A and B are shown apart, each in its own frame.
Chain A
């Protein structure tokens, strides 16, 4: 049977067909749907772990117990999981362990553009890289086969374009499952103290030698001989881009990017007149080909940054310019993503923006508040960084920083990596006020459950983490819960906490607008009374997509008396977008915003 599937759906399907029964992951674009889709198949266990390090450790444990398991994460997640990663390379895996890294060339939804092929070399772990959904489905099986054959963890690398593109996939029946789990003691292999690890270290090198031989005959490393004037070495989605631009040239398509098939590369190079390596981001293949003494064209013509498309490759190889912009007589206003109407983050950041403090930010929907008009966040580095950075800043500033340093962090992000730095503000005592933007979900990546929501990925009710008790247990003495849709209460709590000595914790709690619209029976939208609005534009400073500015001349038949000499229009609320959060009504000094009757 045929189906149209995204790369992520195909990876999940392939894992299911192959008899994989275990997945642990932390959400992250573009990897999230792999675990979500996998979790829906019969007879599998899948979980959201609190972060990627835990996710990998969970999968390592499951693999040692004998299951086929996969740990799934976005590229920066591998940074978090790097500690167990480098040593599971030594222990090997027993049951079959695949780590899926979904990279994000062009930073469509990430804070950096790192090329995780480097991890494969660094940690001495084989890596395979599918180019479309059909390959994604097959390669996850190959990854497990390699893991099982060579007793090694295996990387499957995807990119945004592979994960999120849809293409035609042939479905197969799942193979019958066998329970292969049992407790096996093997301390020589799994207790990585120096004496044992030194021995395993040698095994790793032996394994890499065997894998190099394997790569030479791995059928997914294949030469397509055509016009031999030009030969292109490439892998993953770049193969499709290049074939689209230059269907008649010869190709060495690498399904496995670590280790590389040296003999095959030499053989291909000898057959073509001019050799190119086409790869996004780092010159990962190129550098290794050059080290073989082979003359090759690469990053001197292709960009280091951003994802490619057929046009980028064509322009680089023909010396043309991909820039074919149509000249327009007017500039087109940009359209950045925005916090939703009714988003609880809006009230909080409206208040924080007026505190005259440094707001050390983190990663999540709330990061969007850095933009105009809220401008509510001053930094964002990686998940969990907000609290540690605020602590460091507060310590460095000393008295000058008193009452002026705030850390804000989402609920999922706090659980991911905010607990230890909060403990640090207590242990090493700083005056940081930490605010958890608790919208009861992992909103940015599409509303995943987490340990404080009371439900698991597979829909089981579970114990919900209580932030207040946790804060107190860590030693934070001042802990408060506030509703960010109540501006006055939020302002009051923040002012009080900033004035206090020592660390404090504020839990800014109100469900995500997307949850709210599902749980509230009736949403009562608001409207602006055009005859009361003075056109002061204060409500526009909330940046709510439901509120817009209308000039008098754009109002059609509606006749309005000016309240001030300078007034040239009024604010208007689009009732179809408004979800009745009332924050705009609270900022209006003229009481012009009311419920729609």
Chain B
């Protein structure tokens, strides 16, 4: 087993900016000198469906997707989605959980209930859980659409192989000029809340 390869799983709902966040993460890993691969899983039309993105890095990465029980960090953009991917987590793996709730169709229709005590359930299975309120911090950063970058910032504090300069360079090159500032602020608020 290629034990040197590290795996991060980003999970959430279509439209939350997961693919953008995982692109930036992968670029930063490449800039930091790693072999990096990433791969998404999303169904047709994406809109409103589950979206996951695997990001893997090391000296030599083969598969762009991790097997179950091989994820070091699960970055979950939506409360309930966290549950769907717990079985991907390595023993001792960590979870970053955004407190956003997005109702699936069955809940909107009143046919199913949105699970109420997810965070407790997650904590039951995982020792190391970090809770983030990304939309609140995004508003604080001055742009409500930077919640994904807040979460990337939160993740960055666990991915110690990439230094702050490297992050900043990649973030600056990833956005049009007029939103760079808000995204840098969002990242910082996620990293050092």
Q: What is A's interface to B at a CB cutoff of 8 Å?
A: 2, 4, 29, 108-109, 132, 161, 164-168, 239-241, 243-245, 247, 309-312, 314, 322, 324-326, 328-330, 332-340, 365, 368, 371-373, 443-444, 537, 540, 543, 545, 547-549, 551, 569
Contact = CB atoms under 8 A, between A and B. Distances in A.
A322 B68 contact: yes
Contacts of B26: 4, 166
B27 interface: yes
Contact of A243 (B30, B62, B69): B62
Contacts of A322: 67-68
Contacts of B81: 335
B89 to A, nearest CB: 8
A368 B14 CA distance: 15
Given A165-B38, A373-B109, A444-B45, A334 B104 contact: yes
A4 B43 contact: no
Contacts of A243: 2, 62-63
A324 B66 CA distance: 14
A319 to B, nearest CB: 16
B48 A324 contact: no
B154 to A, nearest CB: 22
A332 B79 CA distance: 11
Contacts of A336: 43, 48-49, 104-105
A385 B20 CA distance: 36
Contact of B108 (A29, A164, A549): A549
Contact count band on B: 35 or more
B81 to A, nearest CB: 8
Q: Majority SS of interface residues in chain A?
A: loop
B74 to A, nearest CB: 12
Contacts of A324: 68-69, 87
A4 B108 contact: no
Contact of B35 (A168, A314, A548, A551): A168
Nearest to B34: A168
B179 interface: no
Contacts of A365: 45
A229 B125 CA distance: 39
A337 B87 contact: no
Across the A-B interface, the 6 shortest Cβ-Cβ residue pairs: A311-B67, A337-B49, A165-B64, A165-B39, A244-B63, A549-B110
13 contacts: A4-B30, A108-B42, A165-B65, A166-B26, A245-B67, A309-B63, A314-B67, A336-B43, A336-B49, A337-B47, A545-B105, A545-B108, A549-B108
Interface in B1-29: 1-2, 5, 13-14, 23, 26-27
A109 B41 CA distance: 11
Given A165-B39, A540-B108, A310 B67 contact: yes
Interface string B80-97: 110110110000000000
A310 B45 CA distance: 27
B131 to A, nearest CB: 19
B106 A164 contact: no
B48 A168 contact: no
Nearest to A307: B65
The CB with the most chain A CB atoms within 10 A, among B23, B30, B45, B110, is that of B45
A314 B80 CA distance: 29
B108 A548 contact: yes
Contacts of B158: none
B39 A161 contact: yes
Given A166-B26, A545-B108, A338 B47 contact: yes
Given A166-B26, A244-B62, A335-B49, A109 B43 contact: yes
